[in-house]
Amino acid sequence: MCGLLTFVSADASAPARRAAVARALERLHHRGPDAGGLVVVDDDAVLGFKRLSIIDVAHSDQPLTYADGRYAITFNGEVYNYLELRKELVREYGARFATEGDAEVVVAAYHHWGAAAVQRLRGMFALVIWDREQRRAFGARDPFGIKPLYHLTTADGTYVASEKKALLPFLAASRDPAGLDETSLSHYLTLQYVPEPASMHHGIARLGPGRMFTLEPGGAPQVERYHRPQWRPTPTDDPEALYRRIRQTLRDSVRLHMRSDVPVGAFLSSGIDSTAVVAFAREFNADLHTFTAALDVPGYSELEAAQRSAEHLGVTMHPVTVTAQMMMDALPRIVWHLDDPVADPALVPLYYVAATAREHVTVALSGEGADELFAGYPIYREPLSLRPVSALPPPLRRGLRAVSRAIPEGVKGRGYLQRGTTDIEERYYGNAREVDAHTKRRLLRRYDPDLTHAEVTGPIYAACADLGDVEKMQYVDLETWLPGDILVKADRMSMAHSLEVRVPFLTQEMFAVAASVPTELKLPPRSTVTKYALRRALADVVPPHIVSRPKLGFPTPIRVWLRSEMYDWALDILGGSGADALLDLNYARWLLEEHRRGAADHSRKLWTVLIFCLWYDMFLGRPLAQPSARAGSLPVSPTSGAAG
């Protein structure tokens, strides 16, 4: 894994910007500590790179040039079919290569196939190619958004980077005195992450998953979508054949994801996803090392089940125990790495698991994406449970809706009727549903009742109007929750320790087979199990105690800790944060007190506010610098170290 920073000048000032780009590039050192490079191409472009060496370790340093210097590429990620593409390029075009790595294959593919090359790439990537002859940049991001790519256009030109912190020095202070996008703040409170393509800073955006762009000097990125997932649930008379296809496709994906010139390990939780990845990886590496998190609060630790799996599969396990104090110590550094706030407590154990993994390996496989592809979240069963009401004729549903309004708050059945009489487009916007409209109205200093989740999910629902409700929910999560939360966690927490995380479930081939699974084989009507087809496919692959076990996903007991060890810490943050200019932190302190008394569980609401407070004080309060592990060091500002 690596970090890139590219500047395309609007006024032929690339050489004059070299020093500023070099300084900003150092903010990405954690993504690539093994090597670094910076090239200036004529007066048009500066390409900078930080490398974590995985393939062709001794060579393939970037920026890498091709075709006698016509192209220069910066490429973050891995293309797992690069050997096959390389053979095809040699056979069909007589292509020549000076390295054994995948970056040169990517730029050669672009040379011969143009923009269509990205549809041939199988892997995770964010890339920028400068074409010296055409005086044009081309960039792209992988279909699922596994690797990040941010961009900022100013009067001087356009900057593109792997992380937003590398762009902050170039953010024009005149764009907005605070630099904060309050629309993104509102969506963050609802979703617990900032939905793409926006960021929390005005002017800085993200290239969405499955998008590519072209950029010429003096212009802005012209974005086009090259990949859109298509769900095609297909009835089958031979489910066993489908299960075999799932199993073989995942095995082939893990095999390709094991390609590396450095040690490869795997994360291991108590769920079927990571356990299956470990089981297949063990076939290709008999000395596989695995890593998991433990917590000393009853009901929150995955250690026992993961240890049983490790013993069954014959792999080495390295557990790390996470405490409340460790969480408080790490959060400033975690927020710094995130760039934008993400209110998912699972970030913390993942941060420590990645740190432990990096002591033993450079690459780790993980199970992200399986829940979105194979319907693994319990909420996906809701359309089935609501069917007795939702399937009624519209007049009857409207009548029941009126009845639900007359039922007092808290009375059993009221919520069921309300949700059953509400269309999926209105009621579902993802997994995070803690900060409702009432809470947002109390929290936000400037609350806009017209700004709802529909702004984010409306276009997505429009694109999948012909699907059933379960597939619509999967589609929404694939487009929002997966790149906004799940993959941000995987990328930032691993890159914080210069560890590459690979996700074998997220390939076009895996999606194709998952998209064909009929609803009744994902979520059987008379069962409470999720991911049924995947579980059946892997029943002979994973240990018996894992087959039907629900996934916890590195859970954290913030509900418990905010009433005890973390209470004073939370109170200090709420009492001293500059975010009070945007959020009513007196109300947040009231929530904290009510939570401490046990009158209600406000832990997720509070966590959402606390993470934003840490982010605000770091990114908008003081000059940006990587914080120490303790909460007392929280520096960051959009204009510090600005180019000039």
Strand partners, 160: 6, 151
Q: Which residue has the higher pLDDT, 276 or 405?
A: 276
Q: CA quadruple 604, 609, 611, 612: dihedral positive or negative?
A: positive
Question: What is the residue whose two structure tokens read 């910007």?
Answer: 17
Cα gap 251→279, rounded to integer Å: 9
CA-CA-CA-CA torsion sign (553, 558, 561, 566): positive
Amino acid, single-letter form, for residue 443: L
pLDDT tens figures, 89-140: 999 999 999 999 999 999 999 999 999 999 999 999 999 999 999 999 999 9
Find tokens 């953010």 and name the residue. Answer: 171
103: left (phi over 0), alpha (psi -120 to 50) or beta: alpha
The per-residue DSSP string of 538-582 comes to: TTTTS-GGGTTPPP--S---HHHHTTTTTHHHHHHHHHH-GGGGT
Alpha carbons 188 and 635: distance in angstroms, whole number: 22
Question: pLDDT band for position 623 (50/70/90)?
Answer: low
Which value, to the nearest 10 degrees, does the dihedral of the CA atoms of residues 520, 524, 525, 527 take?
180
Give the pLDDT confidence score for residue 641 in this predicted structure.
Answer: 35
Instruction: Name which residue leads in pLDDT, 381 or 638.
Output: 381
CB 104 within 8 A of CB 64: yes
Mean pLDDT comparison of 89-93, 389-393, 415-419, highest-scoring range = 89-93
Burial annotation 457-466 (CB, 10 A radius, 16+ → b, else e): beebbeebee
User: Is pTM beyond 0.85 here?
Assistant: yes
Other Cβ atoms within 10 Å of 168 Cβ, number: 26
Q: What SS3 class is residue 54?
A: coil
24 neighbors 166 (Cβ within 8 angstroms)? yes
For 247-288, what is each residue's pLDDT tens digit? 999 999 999 999 999 999 999 998 999 999 999 999 999 999
- Top-confidence residue, 182 or 56: 182
pLDDT band per the 50, 70, 90 thresholds, residue 410: confident
DSSP code, position 31? G
Higher pLDDT, 514 or 417: 514
Minimum mean pLDDT among 99-103, 401-405, 507-511, 556-560: which range? 401-405
Name the strands in the sheet holding 500-502, side by side, starting at the edge strand that comes first in the sequence. 316-322, 289-295, 264-267, 363-365, 500-502
Question: In angstroms, rounded to a whole number, what is the distance separating the alpha carbons of residues 94 and 90?
Answer: 4
Q: Which two tokens stand for residue 282?
A: 């063990």
* Region of residue 12 (phi > 0: left; psi between -120 and 50: alpha; otherwise: beta): left
The pLDDT value given to residue 461: 97
Instruction: Identify whether the C-beta of residue 290 lies closer than 8 Å to the C-beta of residue 592.
Output: no
**In contact, 643 and 17? CB cutoff 8 Å:** yes
Q: What residues contact residue 589 under an 8 Å CB cut-off, 6+ apart?
A: 571, 574, 575
Q: May I ask the CATH class of domain 2-225?
A: alpha beta
364-375 average pLDDT score: 97
Torsion angle (degrees, nearest 10) of CA 188, 193, 195, 196: 140
Residue 644 has pLDDT above 50, yes or no: no
**Average pLDDT score over residue span 327-340:** 96
Candidate from 389-393, 526-530, 607-611, 625-629 with smallest mean pLDDT = 625-629
Residue 312 has pLDDT above 90, yes or no: yes
Catalytic (active-site) positions: 2
Of the listed ranges 186-195, 406-415, 454-463, 571-580, the one predicted with least confidence: 406-415
Please give the average per-residue pLDDT across 343-358, as a whole number. 96
Contact 166, 27 (CB under 8 A): yes
Tokens of 367: 């199970």
Q: What is the reported pLDDT for 628?
A: 55
In this prediction, residue 640 has a pLDDT band, given cuts at 50, 70 and 90, of very low
For 468-504, the pLDDT digits (tens) are 999 999 999 999 999 999 999 999 999 999 999 999 9
φ and ψ at residue 64, rounded to 5 degrees: -110, 135
Q: Residue 267 class from Cβ within 10 Å (0-12 exposed, 13-18 middle, 19+ buried)?
A: buried
Could you report the per-residue pLDDT of 44-77, keeping only the tens digit for each?
999 999 998 888 787 888 899 999 999 999 999 9
Whole-number Å distance between alpha carbons of 25 and 31: 10
Q: Ramachandran region of residue 369, left (φ > 0), alpha (ψ -120 to 50) or beta?
A: left
- For residues 197 and 130, the answer to whether their CB atoms sit within 8 Å is no
pLDDT of the residue at 553: 56
Residue 544 CB: number of other CB atoms within 10 A? Answer: 11
Q: How many whole angstroms separate alpha carbon 211 and alpha carbon 519?
A: 29
CATH 3.60.20.10 spans which residues of the chain? 2-225
Q: Which residues pair with 222 in a beta bridge?
A: 214
